[in-house]
Structure 1
C-alpha cells in the first residue's frame, strides 16, 4: 500500500516530520532526520542510544544514500546503483546504523540485516542450499563480513560468504539488485579472507563508507 505521507513517521504516538512533500518529491531536512533517528534508536536499542556528533558525517552519507538524493550522492562520490559496505572498528556502531537508517524510508522495500556467522552455521547444517537461498531476489545487509568461520558440510570446506557474494554480484549485473554489508576488515584483509576474485566483485557491488580507525567503541 502506498503511503500518503511517507515524510511523516509516527513512533509511540509521536509524529516525526522528516521533510516537506512537494508534489511526488520529499524535500528532506537532515536535522529533522537526526531527531527521528535518535528517537527510533532509543526504541530499537535502549535509552542509552544517542547520535554522536562525531558520526554525523557518516550518517549524512548513509541518509542521502537511503533517500536516493542523486545530486548529493554524486558530490559525495556515492553510486546509487551500488550497495553500501560500512566499515570501521569494533563497536563503532556499524550494525546499529544499518538497522536504523532503513526506517527513514518506509515507502521503500527494506533490507534484512543478517549476521554472516548465522549464514555459515546454516550452511554447516543444511549445505549448499543456503548459498542459493541468499542468492535470491531479496534485499540483504550481511553483517560482519569476513569474521565468519569457514563453512563445513559433510567434511567439505566452503568459503560460504565468498560464494554468496559471487551470487549477489551476478544478480547485480543482471537486475541491479543491491547488497549491503558491514565489516571490521580493511580491503587487504577482505582480499585475504575471500580472495582477489571476490574482492574485485565487491568493488563493483559496494560503495565503501568508512568510519575513522580512531572511532571509539560505543559499547564500552
Structure 2
C-alpha cells in the first residue's frame, strides 16, 4: 500500500505533515532549524508505522545509534563533529541480521523531505542485473546519483558469458571515483564487519571505503526485530 508523501512548507521546514497530523521537529529562526531529538523520535516512530506497519517501533536500545544517524541526516555539523562523524562522507551501517539496518536507512531520509533522496538497491539485485546485461551495468553506477546499497556482502560473484566478476567490488571502485571527483555520496548496509569486508573485497577496496564512509554500527548483541 502506497502512503501519501511527507508534506512540508519551505517557510516552516521544521514542521512535517503526515496526512492531517502535524509533527514539529524543533524550532526555526528563519535561517536554521534547531532540532529536538525526542520530537525526532516521535516522528520516526509514527512514520515508521506508516511505512512498515503497526508493529514497527523505536527501541530504546537504539537511541544512541539513532542520535548519530539523525544528526547526520539533518546535517548537524557541530554535533556530528563531536560524534566523530564526517558529514561529507556516506554512511556504512553495519550490524547483525534483523537489527533494523535496512529499515532505518529507508526511514531516516524522511526527516529531510526537502533534500534529494538516494536510490535504495539491494546488492544481490545488482549482481542479478550484471548476470543479465554484463559490464555496462557497472558503468551505469558511475553516474551522478546517490545510492544506498543494501545488504552488501550477501551477494554472489557475478558471471557474464563465462567471466566471473566481483560486481559490488567494481562498483565500489567506481563510486569512489564519483565521490572524489563529484562529492556524490554512497551509503551501505551490511552484516559484515571490517575484517569480513576486507576478506570479501580486498584491501584496495577496503582502503577506499575508509575514505568514503562513516562506520556506524549496531551492537553485536542487538535484538532481531523480525522475531
Tell me if the contact between 2:176 and 2:208 (Cα under 8 Å) persists in the aligned partners: yes
**Alignment partner of 1:72 out of 71, 74, 79:** 79
TM-score, length basis structure 2: 0.95
Tell me if the contact between 1:87 and 1:182 (Cα under 8 Å) persists in the aligned partners: yes
SS state of the match for residue 6, structure 1? strand
Tell me if the contact between 2:9 and 2:15 (Cα under 8 Å) persists in the aligned partners: no
Separation (CA, whole Å) in 2 of partners of 1:46 and 1:88 = 22
**Alignment partner of 1:106 out of 102, 106, 113:** 113
Report the CA distance between 1:20 and its aligned residue.
1.1
**Alignment partner of 1:28 out of 7, 27, 35:** 35
**Alignment partner of 2:153 out of 140, 146, 158:** 146
Separation (CA, whole Å) in 2 of partners of 1:189 and 1:68 = 30
**Alignment partner of 1:55 out of 36, 39, 62:** 62
Q: Deviations over 1:32-61 (max 9, x none)?
A: 111010000001100000000000001000
Are 1:215 and 2:222 an aligned pair?
Answer: yes
**Alignment partner of 2:12 out of 5, 27, 51:** 5
Report the CA distance between 1:132 and its aligned residue.
1.4
Separation (CA, whole Å) in 2 of partners of 1:13 and 1:161 = 42
Q: Deviations over 1:93-141 (max 9, x none)?
A: 0000000000000111111211000100000011111111222110111
**Alignment partner of 1:194 out of 190, 198, 201:** 201
Separation (CA, whole Å) in 1 of partners of 2:145 and 2:225 = 31
| Structure 2 unaligned residues grouped into runs of 5+ | 1-7
Tell me if the contact between 1:169 and 1:201 (Cα under 8 Å) persists in the aligned partners: yes
| Structure 1 unaligned residues grouped into runs of 5+ | none
Separation (CA, whole Å) in 2 of partners of 1:102 and 1:6 = 14
Question: Which residue number in structure 2 is paired with residue 42 of structure 1?
Answer: 49
Stretch moving more, 101-110 or 3-12 = 3-12
Aligned-pair Cα RMSD in Å: 1.2
